Amino acid sequence: MKIEAIHELFLNSAGITTDTRSIKPNTIFVALKGERFNGNDFALESLKQGASYAIVDENIDHANVRLIRVENTLKTLQDLATFHRQTLKLPVIALTGSNGKTTTKELIHAILAKRYRTVATRGNLNNHIGVPLTLLSFDEDTEIGIVEMGANHQKEIEMLCNIAYPDFGCITNYGKAHLEGFGGVEGVIKGKSEMYEHLMAHDKVIFFNYHDPVQQKKLKGYDKTYSFGDAEETNLYCRMIGSKPFVKLIINHTEIDSQLIGAYNYNNIALASAIGQYFGVSDEQIKEAVEAYVPQNNRSQIIEKNGKRIVLDAYNANPSSMLAALENFADTAVNSDRLAILGDMFELGESAREEHQMIADRCRELEMEKVYLVGMNFFGINTSYQQFRTYEDLQIYLQQHPPSESSLLIKGSRGMALERILNTL
């Protein structure tokens, strides 16, 4: 069946799903395959649960007319998303970066929603499956689409751009994330910059930090840019005027008191504000949107519990974001009354030991008296800080020795799931 025909079925459905647990009446089930699962095995069950059609790429039941046989279900999902995006003809903003993608995406969404009907990537559905699902969530009422793109190896951003064909784009920053897959920091810069290469090749608009030398170099000679910073040449004038504990900034002549901690979040707010200004959102509306935004999902969350002020930043971690979180914590919490609980950072490849050692050494430079290091990567370094092989070892210790400190930072990669600590504290 051709994509045009599948698209027609999609328009008359209740949407697309790739998970039988989320099937609703009249949805279309796409049977994807993974290392540990094969959606084709659940196709007939999806029809029993109420799916109108199931798209499969294996021979299952020739007699069932509600099974749509294709060559490759993932490719069909991606092609369907691209076809749908092109028929809607709405402006699509794409963003990527090493740190701050999801927070920036949420800020862009909040700001643009002051004037437009916007739809953005849900959660962090930012990969080769999540991006198509995001595009398919746009409809005729959507005025602006916002697509977050993640990557851990070369050519992935290029592939995602060739699915979404963004009209606008930005890179939050370049940092030490997914070093193993990208092949070092230079590989990260090259991989993330595939976003700029795609946009420049199609003569599209790029938003960028005027003071980032790498972005300046990448965009040299390209005139379809929109910048932010405190230089006269920028399109949006902005500067940070405070970050203890929350970021405070000025855009043009308007002061904004955010609920985001850490100087590292200034760039995220400024980038989102520049995009808002480009699309005609007023400074006052930008202020309202930013000041109302409260971080969630273990991202720079402030939690008050049992007399303790906890900075929960356990959604993910890499050396760049770990350093930023630590430096902010050291700058805002009283030394003798603070505890940092740090979990392993993953996907660092051969740099793992060096990067984990660097974090511990930096804690000492910041005069952090009490730091708990959790995970096999941290356990293998040289330090006088307390080390725990596993989360379970930490949990037992905390149950026997409840922290007396009133300021806590909890930071680690997603696989560590350090938010579990909240149930122990």
pLDDT in tens, 167-192: 999 999 887 666 666 777 888 889 89
pLDDT tens, position by position, 212-265: 999 999 999 999 999 999 999 999 999 999 988 899 999 999 999 999 988 889
Longest dimension (CA), the chain: 72
Beta bridge partners of 95: 148, 170
pLDDT at 177: 65
Domain spans in the chain, listed from the N-terminal domain onward: 3-73, 90-292, 301-423
pTM to 2 decimal places: 0.89
The answer, yes or no, to whether residue 98 has pLDDT greater than 90, is no
* CATH architecture for segment(s) 3-73: 3-Layer(aba) Sandwich (3.40)
- According to CATH, what is the number of the domain 301-423? 3.90.190.20
CA torsion 40-45-46-47 (nearest 10°) is: 110
CA-wise closest residue to 311 among 326, 301, 325, 324: 301
* CATH architecture for segment(s) 90-292: 3-Layer(aba) Sandwich (3.40)
pLDDT at 24: 94
DSSP three-state, residue 322: helix
The Cα 33–Cα 43 span in angstroms is: 12
pLDDT tens, position by position, 10-48: 999 999 999 999 999 999 999 999 888 999 999 999 999
Contact 211, 231 (CB under 8 A): yes
Q: What is the mean pLDDT of residues 328-351?
A: 89
Same topology for domains 3-73 and 90-292, yes or no?
Answer: no
With 0-12 CB in 10 A as exposed, 13-18 as middle and 19+ as buried, what is 171? Answer: buried
The answer, yes or no, to whether residue 392 has pLDDT greater than 90, is yes
Contact 44, 64 (CB under 8 A): yes
Average of per-residue pLDDT values in the chain: 93
